[in-house]
Amino acid sequence: MSTAAAPFDVTRVRRDFPILAQHVNGHPLVYLDSAASGQRPNAVLRAVERYETHHHSNVHRGVHALSQAATEAFEGARERARRFLNARSRREIVFVRGTTEGINLVAQAFARPRFGPGDEILITGLEHHANIVPWQMVCEQTGCTLKVAPIDRRGELDLDRFLRQLTARTRLVAVAHVSNALGTVLPVERIVEAAHSCGALVLLDGAQAVPHTAIDVQALGCDFYAFSGHKLYGPTGIGVLFGREELLEEMPPWQGGGDMIRTVSFEKSTYNDLPWKFEAGTPNISGAVGLAAAMDYLEGLDIEAVAAHEQRLLALATAELSRIPGLEIIGTAAHKAAVLSFTLRGCHPHDLGTILDSEGVAIRTGHHCAMPVMTFFDIPATARASFGCYNTEADVDALVAALGKAREVFG
Ligand code: PLP
Closest CA to 279 of 150, 1, 91: 91
* Peptide bond just before 28 cis, omega within 30 deg: no
Residue 286 Cα to ligand 1 midpoint, Å, equals 21
List the residue whose alpha carbon is closest to atom 12 of ligand 1: 99
Please give the pLDDT value at position 4: 55
Residues whose CB is less than 8 angstroms from the CB of residue 221 and which lie 6 or more positions away in sequence, other chains included: 189, 192, 193, 196, 202
Q: In this structure, are 318 and 284 located in the same domain?
A: no
Tell me which residue range forms the domain holding 19: 10-39+302-410
> Which of 256, 275, 299 is the endpoint of a domain?
299
Between the CA atoms of 93, 98, 101 and 104, what dihedral angle is there, to the nearest 10 degrees?
80
List the residue whose alpha carbon is closest to atom 4 of ligand 1: 207
Angle value at C-alpha 313, between 309 and 319, nearest 5 degrees: 145
Residue 104 Cα to ligand 1 midpoint, Å, equals 12
Instruction: Assess if residue 2 is contained within a domain.
Output: no
Residue 155 Cα to ligand 1 midpoint, Å, equals 18
Residues whose CB is less than 8 angstroms from the CB of residue 373 and which lie 6 or more positions away in sequence, other chains included: 125, 126, 151, 155, 179, 181, 182, 367
Closest CA to 237 of 410, 43, 102: 102
Q: In this structure, are 235 and 158 located in the same domain?
A: yes
Instruction: Assess if residue 193 is contained within a domain.
Output: yes
**Cβ–Cβ under 8 Å, residues 80 and 297:** no
Verify whether ligand 1 is closer than 6 Å to residue 99 (CB atom). yes
336: buried, middle or exposed (CB in 10 Å: 19+, 13-18, 0-12)? buried
Distance (Å) of CA 409 to CA 168, 268, 322, 354, 373: 55, 67, 19, 12, 28
Q: In this structure, are 32 and 49 located in the same domain?
A: no
Q: In this structure, are 325 and 248 located in the same domain?
A: no
Instruction: Assess if residue 5 is contained within a domain.
Output: no
Residue 207 Cα to ligand 1 midpoint, Å, equals 5
Instruction: Assess if residue 29 is contained within a domain.
Output: yes
Atom of ligand 1 nearest to the CA of 205: 1
> Which of 246, 268, 299 is the endpoint of a domain?
299
Q: In this structure, are 189 and 49 located in the same domain?
A: yes
Three-state DSSP at 56 gives coil
DSSP calls for 74-116: HHHHHHHHHHHHT-S-GGGEEEESSHHHHHHHIIIIIIHHH--
Q: In this structure, are 177 and 216 located in the same domain?
A: yes
d(CA 364, CA 308): 23
For 77-122, how does the pLDDT look when each residue is reduced to its tens digit (9 = 90+)? 999 999 999 999 999 999 999 999 999 999 999 999 999 999 999 9
Q: In this structure, are 110 and 237 located in the same domain?
A: yes
Instruction: Assess if residue 386 is contained within a domain.
Output: yes
Instruction: Assess if residue 3 is contained within a domain.
Output: no
Instruction: Assess if residue 4 is contained within a domain.
Output: no
Q: What is the CATH number of the domain that holds 86?
A: 3.40.640.10
Strands 327-330 and 339-344 turn out to be antiparallel
Length of the chain: 411
Verify whether ligand 1 is closer than 6 Å to residue 374 (CB atom). no
Please give the pLDDT value at position 322: 98
Provide the residue type at 16 as one letter: D
> Which of 241, 271, 299 is the endpoint of a domain?
299
Verify whether ligand 1 is closer than 6 Å to residue 205 (CB atom). yes
Q: In this structure, are 260 and 157 located in the same domain?
A: yes
316: buried, middle or exposed (CB in 10 Å: 19+, 13-18, 0-12)? middle
Closest CA to 156 of 179, 172, 190: 179
Q: What is the CATH number of the domain that holds 29?
A: 3.90.1150.10
Q: In this structure, are 94 and 238 located in the same domain?
A: yes
Domain count, the chain: 2
Q: In this structure, are 333 and 238 located in the same domain?
A: no
d(CA 32, CA 320): 15
d(CA 391, CA 212): 13
Q: In this structure, are 222 and 318 located in the same domain?
A: no
Of 139, 222, 369, 389, which is the active-site residue? 369
For 17-56, how does the pLDDT look when each residue is reduced to its tens digit (9 = 90+)? 999 999 999 999 999 999 999 999 999 999 999 999 999 9
d(CA 387, CA 55): 34
* Per-residue pLDDT in tens (0 to 9) along the chain, 411 residues: 444 556 799 999 999 999 999 999 999 999 999 999 999 999 999 999 999 999 999 999 789 999 999 999 999 999 999 999 999 999 999 999 999 999 999 999 999 999 999 999 999 999 999 999 999 999 999 999 999 999 999 999 999 999 999 999 999 999 999 999 999 999 999 999 999 999 999 999 999 999 999 999 999 999 999 999 999 999 999 999 999 999 999 999 999 999 999 999 999 999 999 999 999 999 999 999 999 999 999 999 999 999 999 999 999 999 999 999 999 999 999 999 999 999 999 999 999 999 999 999 999 999 999 999 999 999 999 999 999 999 999 999 999 999 999 999 886
Instruction: Assess if residue 1 is contained within a domain.
Output: no
Verify whether ligand 1 is closer than 6 Å to residue 208 (CB atom). yes
Q: Look up 369 and say whether it is catalytic.
A: yes
Q: In this structure, are 382 and 398 located in the same domain?
A: yes
